[in-house]
Every structure is written in structure tokens, then in C-alpha cells.
Amino acid sequence: MKTALITGITGQDGSYLAEFMLSRGYRVVGMVRRSSVDRFERLEHFQRQLELIQGDLTDQTSLDIAVRDVRPDEIYNLAAQSFVPTSWNQPGLTGEVTGLGVTRVLEAMRKNRPEARFYQASSSEMFGKVLETPQRETTPFYPRSPYGAAKVYAHWITVNYRESYDLFCCSGILFNHESPRRGFEFVSRKVSDAVARIKAGKLDRLTMGNLDAHRDWGFAGDYVKAMWMMLQQDSPQDYVVATGVSHSVRDLLSAAFAAADLSWDEYVVIDPALIRPAEVDTLVGDPTRAQAELGWQPRVSFDELMERMVRADMARHGVT
């Protein structure tokens, strides 16, 4: 039985990846931060099948102990301060966790388990003010936030450990992926939850930021499979994971409100405070390499994704 160590297991992707790895027969160990409250909501329905170990990306000793004791065959580094707006208010912490934290995990692996395979959660935010469309593995980076800059560092340190120490290290450059387990602050979930609350009579308007931004949105459940596929290859490589289709935030509003037979423009107001200091205007990925070499394909369309999210939130708010 192979062992996978997942950092960030309590997050959206961590929960889907853990379920997927269990379905492949892995022993799954999740690394979690100590907290005074329970943060296992996304894991509740299968938590008994998991092992959890404490650790934090800001603390080298905890990572060394985790890797030494768990002896993983595969390490998936999903932990990060992942919300872009927060990275302007907490640039130092974002750099520590999302950037330097990756070096700490790589060091823990190099010292304690060099034969393991490593996955780094790179991001399409690294492309930022895009220098090529669609974005592919060879597109130069131009990050537009402290988060994007930290991910660029994390990406290159992963390449560097692969080349310096001959470790099996891969980065998946993942474009936005969503699900009913997405955090409430991200735009897709903010909107699906608001639609459900409007239907339930608990909300009468929704404040939004930039409606003109475009993103390549896919389903998180499809994307975690690509992470695993990367670590099953003969040699380590970096891959863009995307649908190849871009939509605006306005399109997202339209799809989500339509899923509940509502018109978005009757409820949405713009709050200038939600406009970012520097925006990533348009992202669209070219997943050709992942399709050709991994055999990966996205299965859930944009409209279906938004409909699923709205339905799940309506059920949560008791709307039939």
C-alpha cells in the first residue's frame, strides 16, 4: 500500500484529493495546523479513513517530523495562504507560507525521504498580466499580487530542487477550479451562496468587484486527478491544467442566477472596495500537454459547475 502525505488537506482541493487517493487504495495522511476550533468540515464524511498529523508550513521542525514519521511515497503540497486579496494585507505571511513554506517542505523531503515524489500547487495567477494567450507551460510569468509573486518563487524553487538534487518534483499550474466545497470568499462560492440566500429570503442584494475579469473555471474534482497523474509519470514535468475556455465574472453571475430562475442585474451592486489594487484581467489555459501526456480531460462544463454549486447551496439553505 502506497502512502500519500497531503498538506492543506482541510482545504477544497485537499478534501477532493484525499477522497481520490483513498479510492486508489492509498494510505492517506493529512497535515493540519493546530487550531482551537474544529476545521474538518470538508473531511467529515470520510475522516475515519484518514490519518492526521500536526504541522505548519512556517515551521521546519514540524515538516521534518511529518515526513520522517509518515515515510510518504508521494507528497502533495496544497497548503497555502490562497486568497489573492488577503495577500495585499498580509504580504509577509503570504510569502512565508505560500512561497518559503514550499522550500521547507522540499527540504524536509530532501533530508528525510528523497525517494518520495513531490507535487507543488502552482497557479495560473503566476501568468498575471499575461504575455501570451492561451497560457501554456512555456509562457513567461508576470504576477500581479503578493500571492502570485509567492507562487512564482514556489514554482521555481520546485524546479530548482528537481534540477539540483535530482528529486522527483512536479508543479501543476492549475487554473481556477471550484466546487460546492469552495471557500465562501472566492467569487464562485460567494455568488452561489448569495443566490441560495436570495432564494431563501435571507439576502436582497449582492456586492461585487470587477465583473469584467475573465477566468478559465473548471471543477476541482477533475483537477485533483491531474495532480495524481503527474506523479505517476516516468519523469517529473510541469503541466498546465485548465479547460481552455474563459468566461467573465458577469457570465458567472448570469449562469448562477439563471440556475435559480433569477436575473443577476436585479440584485448585484458594485462595491469599489472589492476592486483589487492590480487585477489579472484574463486567463485562459492551454491544457494540450496534460491531455497528450497524462490523458487528462476536464469533465464538468462551466454551466454545469455553477448549477451544481447553486443547487448544493440551495439545499444547505433549505430551498427546494
Q: Is 30 a residue that touches ligand NAP (CB under 6 A)?
A: no
Q: How far apart are CA 315 and CA 101, in angstroms?
A: 37
Closest contact distance (angstroms) between CB of 263 and ligand NAP is 27
Cell digits of residue 11: 482545504
Q: Is residue 94 at the binding interface for ligand NAP, with CB under 6 A as the rule? A: no
- Note whether 4 binds ligand NAP by CB under 6 A: no
Contact call for residue 56 and ligand NAP (CB under 6 A): yes
Residues marked active site are found at: 123, 125, 147
How big is the CA angle at 195 (ends 10 and 79), to the nearest 5 degrees? 15
Q: Which of 4, 5, 6, 11 binds ligand NAP (CB under 6 A)?
A: 11
The residues facing 269 across adjacent strands are 207
Binds ligand NAP (CB under 6 A): choice among 53, 60, 90, 183: 183
57 binds ligand NAP (CB under 6 A): yes
Residue 91 — φ and ψ, nearest 5°? Answer: -65, -35
- The closest alpha carbon to 29, from 45, 1, 39, belongs to 1
Inter-axis angle of helices 187-199 and 249-258, nearest 10: 30
Which of these ranges, 43-51, 75-83, 133-141, 250-258, lies near ligand NAP under the rule CB under 6 A?
75-83
User: Whole-angstrom Cα distance, residue 81 to residue 75?
Assistant: 18
Could you tell me the smallest distance in angstroms from the CB atom of residue 280 to ligand NAP? 12
Widest distance between CA atoms in the chain: 58
Grid coordinates belonging to 161: 530542487
Q: Toward ligand G4F, which CB reaches closer, 275 or 315?
A: 275
How far apart CA 158 and CA 236 sit, in angstroms, is 11
Stretch near ligand NAP under the rule CB under 6 A, chosen from 7-15, 204-212, 259-267, 285-293: 7-15
Shortest Å distance, C-beta 234 to ligand G4F: 28
The residue whose Cβ lies closest to ligand NAP is 11
CA 138 – CA 140 distance, rounded (Å):
6
Which residues make up the interface to ligand NAP (CB under 6 A)?
Answer: 7-8, 10-14, 33, 39, 56-58, 78-82, 97, 121, 123, 174, 176-177, 183
